[in-house]
Structure 1
Amino acid sequence: MTDSHSSDPHLSPPAERASLRDGVRFAFGTLTVFPARITRWDRPAARIGMECAPLAGLAVGLCAAVPGVLLLLLGGGPMLAAAVTVAVPAALTRALHLDGLADTADGLGSAKPAQDALRIMKQSDIGPFGVVTLVVLFLIQVAALANLYTESWQHGALAAVVAAVTARLALTLASRAGVPAARPGGLGAAVAATVPAGAAFGLAALVAAAAGLAALPLGLPAALQQAGAVVAALLAAELLLRRCVRRFGGVTGDVFGAVAETAATTTLVVLALG
């Protein structure tokens, strides 16, 4: 961040605050298919909304874990349970994060100047980089979750929830002050630099601690691994975020989707290593 960034109103958190209800509706209305009427579409609401993003992830994660656990208990096997668990978040988010990941992969892989890459990302079709990225992502997520479901339904369910929460937490961090928007329009511009950095990192610490506490019934090593998985996922998402900011000049809605999927996948991989 440079001094010029701090003087740009688009790179500083909004001073006015929206209500918590406005923020929750913003988070659920933009990040899920759950019925939530967005009452305010401005930067103050975006700030609270992105701070509430992990709550939307919690709802998505719980909805993903339930059918996976039921299939496992009914004898469906770890692979089927994992595949369904991975599919549910895609359905509950209109596959927007996956679409964003594919578009970002096409943009990064194009080797074209920033503006040309952004135009590629706005196109409705998916290029070869995007297709390969999605296939590999699904394989990794399903394989990791199947490994966790093989260990126990508790490990699989908790991993699904933590991955979904961490994915949305990565969006909170990507919305922090100092991270510019790549273009003036779209969701990326609406939420870029709305969250104070201190609030974003404080929320990250809280979620990591909560993940560890949730895993304590599985033992102290599992608790430490859960917290470590959150940290590792956020670091991976941050690396991608910085790469995209350098490559495109800032964030877009597609970059947010890519950051979320990267965080979710890293979480599952780290947990599967245990």
Structure 2
Amino acid sequence: MPDAWRLATGTLTALPVGPPRQVTRSTARAAMLLAPAAVLPLGALVAAILWLGGRADLPPLAVAFVAVGALAAGSRALHWDGLSDVADGLTASYDRERSLAVMKTGTSGPAGVVATVVVAGIQAAALTAYVDTLGLALLAGALVCLSRCALWITCCTRVPSARPGGLGDTYTRTVPLPLAALGGLLLSVTGGLVVLLLVRRTTTRFGGVTGDVFGAAIELALATTLLTWAWW
């Protein structure tokens, strides 16, 4: 369990933690299941920014964008990089190898830039609904943590790896289907459906999922769940 905790925290946050002694598939599975708990400090950070911004009577949209930026910094913007790469890969070519090569370059093309701007804008616009009270700010922080349940779906035992030997290969096919289904429910169903559609699309185009798909799933899940609860 200590190795899994260090792996989850070190991978999903910018918090300084020691490296795990060894990374096995069992460790990787436990790390994915611990993902929502591992980002509790990031959820608390977002909640604090929203609440303090509301107390200071600052413009809600400005406060929301600060929260989105702080969350990105707290995760080293790793998930945003994944979202950008997936968008570029899906629009680059219908050839699987060409798409995977584009995703591996690490640069952002037009599709990647547009995807990050649109999803970040949706997150920020949705977060304006959580600025008014402490209870709403805490709800937003909780949704940040729950958005990491997207990893339970991308790492489901039914989902193959697109790139054997890649960064995400250790984590794929590790989470049992019942837990992946539970993750979809914890994502308010709507978030789970969005992640499921992403997994289906990338599996069709790339032959499976990659570490970039994990990051894209998290950001899309967060945007969707924030919108869903704001609507409710």
Q: TM bucket by the smaller chain?
A: over 0.9
Please report the TM-score for the alignment, with normalisation by the length of structure 1.
Answer: 0.79
The CA deviation at 1:68 is: 2.3
1:33 counterpart = 2:14: yes
- The corresponding residue for 2:218 is 260
- The corresponding residue for 1:189 is 169
How far apart in 2 are the matches of 1:30 and 1:265? 21
CA offset digits 1:182-206 (Å, max 9, x no partner): 112232101001122223334555x
Conserved 8 A contact 1:57-1:167: no
How far apart in 2 are the matches of 1:143 and 1:198? 33
| Identity, % of aligned positions | 41
Conserved 8 A contact 1:103-1:121: yes
The CA deviation at 1:74 is: 1.8
- The corresponding residue for 1:233 is 191
Query: Which consecutive residues of structure 1, in runs of 5 or more, have no partner in the other structure?
Result: 1-19, 209-228
1:46 is matched by which residue type in structure 2? A
1:89 counterpart = 2:63: no
- The corresponding residue for 1:63 is 45
CA offset digits 1:131-176 (Å, max 9, x no partner): 11111112111111113325x34224312431x1232101122111
- The corresponding residue for 2:93 is 111
Question: Per the alignment, in what secondary structure is the counterpart of residue 167 of structure 2?
Answer: helix
How far apart in 2 are the matches of 1:234 and 1:160? 18
Structure 1 residue corresponding to 2:121, chosen from 128, 136, 139: 139
Question: Per the alignment, in what secondary structure is the counterpart of residue 187 of structure 1?
Answer: coil
Please report the TM-score for the alignment, with normalisation by the length of structure 2.
Answer: 0.93
**Rg larger for:** 1
- The corresponding residue for 2:150 is 170
Conserved 8 A contact 1:69-1:81: no
The CA deviation at 1:266 is: 0.2
Across the two proteins, how many residue pairs are aligned to each other?
231
Moved more, 172-181 or 153-162: 153-162
Conserved 8 A contact 1:85-1:160: no
